[in-house]
Amino acid sequence: MNNKEATIIFENNMKMNVVQIERCSVGIANYVFIVSTATEKFILRCSKNKDAYKDTVYWLNKLSTYEIPIPVVLSSGGYKNYSYLILSYIIGDDFGNVYYKLSDSEKKQIAKEVIEIQRKVSKIDIRTDEDWTWNRVIDEMLSRAEERIKRKHYFDSNKINIVKQIRKEIQEYLDKVRPIPYLDDISTKNLLVYEGKLSGIIDIDWMGFGDMLTFVAMTKVALLNMNLDSSYIDYLLDEIHPDMIAYKAFIFYCLIFCVDFMGERGMQFLDKKIPVNSRVIQRLNNIFDMIMEEWNKCSEP
């Protein structure tokens, strides 16, 4: 997908002339463009998958009544071999890009608002598949990470076995997790911040069902992977108030996302390759060891 094709899609659907169009660097599964007209901006997302945005449109429309700062769906359809989605533009930058500029009070306020949003989402009346179980979700994440790590050989696959052993200690907790809806893909990306305040949530292509602590765990690993402090995580946990067994589950989820990040290194998504080098490998290995230390501390009698 190039700028010319993207311009044709937008102009044909919105009946507005494009003044400027820019491909975003974010997004590994979609082509994402910021489209500027004479008066306003829009987001154009394109994918080679048929009906790629069916679920996105469904969830955005579903969430639109919950007073959550999300984009408005303006148009969707197909063009040649592409699916496309045109959305309203929300000003702001990805949380991870501005994190270092934020004060502690700003991080704390964003954490409070994010958890408020998650609690609103948790009230959505949704039925999952009859065969849904939280353990199945965990199995799929671990299996995916294991397959990727073994295929690429950048990391020691025995780390998966370590995580599987740890799982046994909190299995009773995992067995009790119910399919509660939550936004599971807001971490250092998809959470927009403008002038120190939460301005919007984007790329809602699906809904998570289960334990909300997973999005906190993913955010922690993402921040550590960017060599950023994790004070924001403390603020999120302060809002959630997990008990000891829930906190141990949170550490377990951090380990899952760490091996998940490991599995992604060197993978190709569309025309983007996830970078991998000796520094990346060492950093993720160090993160894994650090999280294991946290696990050992909270497991002490």
Going 132 to 137 to 143 to 145, the CA torsion angle's sign is positive
Determine whether 286 is exposed, middle or buried from the number of CB atoms within 10 Å of its CB (0-12, 13-18, 19+): exposed
Percent of the chain with pLDDT over 90: 80
Output helix, strand, coil percentages for the chain, rounded to the nearest 5. 50, 15, 35
Q: Compute CA distances 48 → 87, 151, 172, 180, whole Å.
A: 18, 25, 41, 31
pLDDT reported for residue 146? 96
Confirm if 211 and 176 have CB atoms less than 8 A apart: no
Q: Which residue has the tokens 């991870």?
A: 96
What is the tens place of the pLDDT at every residue in 22-58?
998 665 667 899 999 999 999 999 988 888 899 999 9
pLDDT reported for residue 301? 66
Going 93 to 99 to 103 to 108, the CA torsion angle's sign is positive
pLDDT reported for residue 87? 96
Per-residue b/e over 237-254, b at no fewer than 16 CB within 10 Å?
bebbebeeeebbbbbbbb
0.85 cut: is pTM over it?
yes
What is the tens place of the pLDDT at every residue in 234-263?
999 999 999 999 999 999 999 999 999 999
Lowest pLDDT segment from 91-100, 124-133, 195-204? 124-133
In whole numbers, what is the pLDDT of the chain averaged over residues?
Answer: 93
Residue closest to 141 by CA, chosen among 233, 29, 56, 255 = 255
Distance CA 71, CA 277 (A): 36
Q: Model confidence at 299, in pLDDT bands (50, 70, 90)?
A: confident
How many of the other CB atoms lie within 10 Å of CB of 125? 6
How many of the other CB atoms lie within 10 Å of CB of 265? 19
What is the tens place of the pLDDT at every residue in 150-201?
998 999 999 999 999 999 999 999 999 999 999 999 999 999 999 999 999 9
Is a pLDDT exceeding 80 seen at residue 60? yes
Distance CA 9, CA 174 (A): 45
Determine whether 149 is exposed, middle or buried from the number of CB atoms within 10 Å of its CB (0-12, 13-18, 19+): buried
Q: Model confidence at 79, in pLDDT bands (50, 70, 90)?
A: confident
Confirm if 221 and 285 have CB atoms less than 8 A apart: no
pLDDT reported for residue 31? 87
Question: Higher confidence at residue 130 or residue 100?
Answer: 100
What is the rounded average pLDDT of the residues 6-16? 92
What is the rounded average pLDDT of the residues 288-299? 94
Q: Which residues contact 294 (CB under 8 A, 6 or more apart)?
A: 251, 254
* Eight-class DSSP state of 188: S
